[in-house]
A = this chain, B = another copy of it.
Amino acid sequence: MSLAHGHPYLAIPGPSVTPDRVQRAMHRTSPNIYEGQLVEMVESLWPDLKRLAGTANHVAAYIGNGHGAWEAANTNMFNRGDKALVLSCGRFGHGWAAHARDMGIEVELLDFGTASPADPARVEAALRADTGHRIKAVLTTHVDTASSIRTDVPAIRAAIDAAGHPALFAVDCIASMGCDEYRMDQWGVDVTVAASQKGLMTPPGMAFVWFSEKARVQCGQSDLSTPYWRWGPRAAPEEFWQYWFGTAPTHTLYGLREALDMIFEEGLAQVWTRHDTLARTVWAAFDAWGAGNPAIRLNAARPEWRGRSVTAARIGGEDGTRLRNWCETQAGVTLGIGLGMNSAEDPNADGFLRVAHMGHVNAHMTLGALAVMDAGLKALSIPHGDGALSAAARVAAGGSAPDPASLA
């Protein structure tokens, strides 16, 4: 007997829920791409995209996905043989590093595991050791989509400054843009990458690279640069078609315009606060469940280590997979798989899952997902502490979650 028939809720960490407004804005036949409404509309996107990332500098948009954004960043920043210092706190730092190596870039990887953020001290030490300033750029994720670990971007900037190193600072905000507070210029970031399908609430198909004036001057003419990825003409085109190096992604652009309208109608600070509060409802539930079953626990031990757009958690054994299946087939909620989170403790990914709370998400959606998980734990007889939903509701009501220590 399934209770899943109804409006399904996709709570995976991207692509996120496409708002009805965005869907409606995209439902149209193709527009003229040489003049008229589309051309005018596109001009309105750039100031809003910069405002979103907190920069007064440059932005290039691509038909591509998040991996495309990596390739755009790497091919513009590096020459073959340059060196990158890459910080990894989960899976996607490794991914960005692998991409760089594939391009012939030398990579020094600082691996911080999958359950804690980058340690600024190690970053500073690595940079100090690079006395010849061979490191062209420091690369990090803001929030790792797999581990949900959030790195303290200003602290890494401070480490670079403390080391007196001239490297560029590049941040992957694919899982955090439009969810977690982010201030590119104020935080001293040179290159920021993101994509359309998470906090930006637009279907997959567009990638973005913001870059500082310093990056503009130092990059863009590398021997890895290609016509498609070269950011210069995209950020400052002489003709409209150069924004996209060819045909514009017309429908996605209409979706993006609507999504940006939604973000700024709500207010960017309020968007961040909403994500923060909803994230804390999820944490409160996991803390309560975990109080009754030590196998259930959040991947990031400390709140300040946690992204506000997605929560990775350990359920244990095969219970993660069993719970995900129950939620999807019995209750209409699709949770994220425990992507690459297998560890010595849990040698397969079955023990992990992820709950997304990114983009177009409200209290009903998130509390409903938690309530469904609670029902699933009961249905599957997975041990769990009581009061998880009440604790989550208390956070949504504006209160605090109980101190996890008090739950045990």
Binding site for B on A (CB under 8 A): 1-10, 12, 14-20, 23-24, 26-34, 63-68, 71, 75, 99, 102-103, 195, 197, 203-205, 226-228, 244-252, 262, 266, 270-271, 273-274, 277-278, 330-334, 337, 360-365, 367-372, 374-376, 378-379, 386-390, 392-394, 396-399
The answer to whether B368 touches A397, judged by C-beta atoms less than 8 angstroms apart, is: no
CA of A376 to CA of B5, assembled, Å: 26
The answer to whether B3 touches A278, judged by C-beta atoms less than 8 angstroms apart, is: yes
Return 10 A-B CB contacts under 8 Å, by A number: A3-B274, A7-B361, A15-B31, A63-B205, A64-B228, A331-B363, A331-B364, A332-B365, A364-B371, A386-B390
The answer to whether A20 touches B30, judged by C-beta atoms less than 8 angstroms apart, is: no
Contact of A247 among B6, B23, B32, B195 (CB under 8 A): B195
Q: Which residues in B have their C-beta under 8 angstroms from that of A390?
A: 374, 386-390
**Interface hub of A205, A249, A337 (most chain B Cβ within 10 A):** A205
Give the Cβ gap from A177 to chain B, nearest Cβ, in Å. 14
Closest to A19 in B: B7
Contact of A245 among B2, B65, B334 (CB under 8 A): B65
The answer to whether B249 touches A65, judged by C-beta atoms less than 8 angstroms apart, is: yes
Number of this chain's copies in the complex: 4
Give the Cβ gap from A305 to chain B, nearest Cβ, in Å. 23
Q: Which residues in B have their C-beta under 8 angstroms from that of A103?
A: 226-227
Q: Which residues in B have their C-beta under 8 angstroms from that of A364?
A: 6-9, 331-333, 365, 368-369, 371-372
Q: Which residues in B have their C-beta under 8 angstroms from that of A376?
A: 397
Give the Cβ gap from A289 to chain B, nearest Cβ, in Å. 11
The answer to whether B12 touches A20, judged by C-beta atoms less than 8 angstroms apart, is: no
The answer to whether A393 touches B367, judged by C-beta atoms less than 8 angstroms apart, is: no
Contact of A274 among B5, B10, B18, B379 (CB under 8 A): B5
Give the Cβ gap from A336 to chain B, nearest Cβ, in Å. 8
CA of A21 to CA of B24, assembled, Å: 10
The answer to whether B378 touches A251, judged by C-beta atoms less than 8 angstroms apart, is: no
Give the Cβ gap from A399 to chain B, nearest Cβ, in Å. 7
Report if A360-B6 is in contact (Cβ < 8 Å); known contacts: A12-B34, A387-B390: yes
CA of A1 to CA of B204, assembled, Å: 29
Closest to A326 in B: B397
Q: Which 4 A-B pairs have the closest CB atoms?
A: A368-B368, A6-B362, A67-B246, A389-B389
Apart from A3-B274, A10-B32, what are 7 other A-B pairs with CB-CB below 8 Å?
A: A2-B270, A5-B362, A7-B361, A9-B364, A204-B251, A363-B371, A388-B390
Q: Which residues in B have their C-beta under 8 angstroms from that of A365?
A: 6-7, 332, 364, 368
Contact of A396 among B15, B227, B375 (CB under 8 A): B375
